[in-house]
Amino acid sequence: MITTIALDLDNTLLNSNKEISAENERVLKELHEAGKRVILCTGRPLGAVQHLIQQLELTQPNDYSITFNGGLVQNNVDQEILAQTTLTKQQVELLYQDAKQRNYPLDVLGPDKVYSLIEFGKSDYEKFMNGMISFEDVKFAALPADQTFGKVVSSAPAETVSNTRAGLPKDVQDNFHVVPSRPELLEFLPAGVNKAVGLGQLLGNFGETLDNLMAFGDEENDLEMLQAARVGVAMENAIPLIKKAANVETLNNNDDGVAAYLKKYFEM
């Protein structure tokens, strides 16, 4: 039985205006009130999705979100951490050294802010986040050594992102799960971390498995959760890799694709 609905955000649950449509909101609220878990699964930190949590009223004691693309499983209400996998400054330095040689931008996501490594030039990542989390411009030497980090991102034109990924040295590939979340954003997660891992940890907390999961996605960072879910749903606007991995396809993100499939599956 499907007990849990996992939702990627950009270009899946959110439309092109980065909003949850009225129909998606209505259907998800109805299912949540009926007892289904509704889990936002995102690369962003929890603070950057609180407005969406409030809109969907995902504020019950057992409501959680998957953030940092599976690296952090956190309660929506008290922000208690159920599971977490992080990066050290020493690991980030592997990326820093490669970026210094090949000249690509890096932003490092800490527990409460994003550190933009300005030695490589300011990326457009702060503009993309649009005030959802605070940023600090630093040189690598000033990156706090006593903190751990959720992930590192490289925000750049699609061609730069593609070239960056293609040329990564072995030590970076061994220490990170490297995946694009859109053509212009390459994400460096802790090795072994993906959305399916976080969802498995969450469902295990409730004595369930990924066989109880329905997941929606559109990009490569959604791949593992769509493969692992009992029902993996690709958006019409998804990349070919995701459509191939999914069980079914729904309408695009601007045509309430999430709501359309949920209404059909749950006979609403």
The model carries a pTM of 0.93
H or E element: which one contains 261? helix 257-265
29 and 71 housed in the same domain: yes
197 and 74 housed in the same domain: yes
Considering 155, 190, 225, which residue would you say is the last residue of a domain?
A: 190
258 and 198 housed in the same domain: yes
CATH number of the domain residue 56 falls in:
3.40.50.1000
Task: Work out the angle at residue 243's Cα, subtended by the Cα atoms of residues 240 and 249, and round it to the nearest 5 degrees.
Answer: 140
Task: Dump pLDDT digits (tens) for 96-108.
Answer: 999 999 999 999 9
216 and 233 housed in the same domain: yes
Query: How far is 67 from 242, CA to CA, in rounded Å?
Result: 20
Considering 166, 190, 214, which residue would you say is the last residue of a domain?
A: 190
100 and 179 housed in the same domain: yes
* Adjacent-strand bridge partners of 117: 138
Q: What is the DSSP string of 126-164?
A: HHHHTTSS-EEEE-GGGS-TT--BSEEEEE--HHHHHHH
8 and 80 housed in the same domain: yes
185 and 205 housed in the same domain: no
80 and 120 housed in the same domain: no
Number of structural domains in the chain: 2
Q: Please tell me the predicted confidence (pLDDT) of residue 47.
A: 87
Q: Is the distance from CB of 66 to CB of 42 less than 8 angstroms?
A: yes
- What are phi and psi for residue 257, nearest 5 degrees? -60, -35
Q: Return the residue matching tokens 């309408």.
A: 251
18 and 149 housed in the same domain: no
pLDDT by residue for the chain (268 residues), tens digit each?
Answer: 999 999 999 999 999 999 999 999 999 999 999 999 999 999 988 988 999 999 999 999 999 999 999 999 999 999 999 999 999 999 999 999 999 999 999 999 998 899 999 998 899 999 988 888 899 999 999 999 999 999 999 999 999 999 999 999 999 999 999 999 989 999 999 999 999 999 999 999 999 999 999 999 999 999 999 999 999 999 999 999 999 999 999 999 999 999 999 999 999 9
Query: How far is 62 from 256, CA to CA, in rounded Å?
Result: 26
Task: Dump pLDDT digits (tens) for 157-186.
Answer: 999 999 999 999 999 999 999 999 989 999
The one-character DSSP state at 10 is: I
201 and 245 housed in the same domain: yes
Q: Is the distance from CB of 158 to CB of 138 less than 8 angstroms?
A: no
CATH number of the domain residue 156 falls in:
3.30.1240.10
Q: Please tell me the predicted confidence (pLDDT) of residue 32.
A: 98
3-state secondary structure of 88: coil
Query: How far is 71 from 194, CA to CA, in rounded Å?
Result: 7
The one-character DSSP state at 48 is: G
19 and 142 housed in the same domain: no
Considering 173, 190, 207, which residue would you say is the last residue of a domain?
A: 190
Q: Please tell me the predicted confidence (pLDDT) of residue 130.
A: 82
77 and 208 housed in the same domain: yes
For the chain, what is the largest distance between any 2 Cα atoms, rounded to a whole number of angstroms? 56
Closest CA to 101 of 74, 119, 122: 119
Q: Please tell me the predicted confidence (pLDDT) of residue 131.
A: 82
**Domain, as residue range, for 94:** 89-190
The one-character DSSP state at 133 is: S
